[in-house]
Amino acid sequence: MKAVKRDARREKSAQTRTRILDAAYALWCEHGYRATTMQDIADRAGVAVQTTYFSFRTKDSLLQAVHDRTVLGEDGQPPEHQPWYTAAIAAPAIDDAVATLVTGAAGILARVAPMLPVFESVSADPAGAVFRRGEQLRRDSFGKLVTLLERTAPLRPGLSYAHAVDLLFVLLGPPLYRSLVIESGWAEHEWAAWVTATLLRDLFGRAVPPS
């Protein structure tokens, strides 16, 4: 009986945490980080503000938790441990590998890109370190990805490893996704087709006919 009650409390706590994270993400995307108070977040989540502070202690800690969940998704797995990533690495042809990577990255970018104004607004504050750390991890991950992709196909002649990492970092980054999809109105499939063709051409020298 005690175990059942303990599990029920854990489930309730997890649900409360999820509601707070969802509320913070939505309010920050709608109104910005500075204009949104912890009380606003608590009200949107349907909990007492004390519960919000008990769960996350500070607004900056809540920002870190929202960032992590936005990048990692509901299962909390880093991209390189997610099925689309492993499928891309296992693909026998570079065309399929890159297309799979772009499709998988789109799911993350669709969540992260709306938060960019939030991170820009706190870039000079200690909270800005959340996004900077995340971007460094993303660059490091792309460095490993280039090495893995080279097992499937060599980089185009004249392209250095460092420049290949730069291209992945920019083309599969939230700023470009936000600019084209959110602000310019590209359909996600249009963005994905363009990024896939550009990566295949600029990283691997593959000519992809226009779709």
Token pair for 151: 């097992």
Task: Say if residue 182 is in the same domain as residue 147.
Answer: yes
Structural domain containing residue 160: 76-204
- Read off the amino acid at residue 89: I
Measured over the CA atoms of residue 112, residue 79, residue 59 and residue 120, the dihedral's sign is: negative
Say if 211 falls within a structural domain: no
Exposure string of 140-167, with b = 16+ CB inside 10 Å and e = fewer, is: ebbeebbeebeebbebeeebeeeebbeb
What total of structural domains would you count in the chain? 2
Considering the domain architecture, whether residues 121 and 166 belong to the same structural domain is answered as yes
One pLDDT digit (tens) per residue for the chain, 211 residues: 666 566 667 888 889 999 999 999 999 999 999 999 999 999 999 999 999 999 999 999 999 999 999 999 888 888 889 999 999 999 999 999 999 999 999 999 999 999 999 999 998 888 889 999 999 999 999 999 999 999 999 999 999 999 999 999 999 999 999 999 999 999 999 999 999 999 999 999 998 765 5
Please tell me whether residues 196 and 148 are part of one structural domain.
Answer: yes
CB of 146 closer than 8 Å to CB of 161:
yes
Question: Is 178 within a domain?
Answer: yes
Q: Domain check: are 91 and 191 in the same one?
A: yes
Same domain membership, residue 195 and residue 112:
yes
Q: What pTM did the predictor assign?
A: 0.88
Query: Are 137 and 186 within one domain?
Result: yes
Q: Distance between CA 155 and CA 57 in Å, rounded?
A: 47
DSSP secondary-structure letter at 156? Answer: P
Residue 103 in any domain: the answer is yes
* Sequence-separated (6 or more) residues with CB below 8 Å from residue 146: 155, 161, 164, 165, 168, 203
Residue-level pLDDT at 210:
55
Specify if 121 maps to a domain. Answer: yes
Question: In the prediction, which pLDDT does 179 show?
Answer: 98
Same domain, 35 and 139: no
109-112's contacts with Cβ under 8 Å and 24+ in sequence apart are 109/172, 109/173, 109/174, 109/177, 110/177, 110/181, 110/188, 111/70, 111/71, 111/73, 112/70, 112/71, 112/174, 112/177
69 inside domain: no
Owner of token pair 């700023």: 175
126 in a domain, yes or no? yes
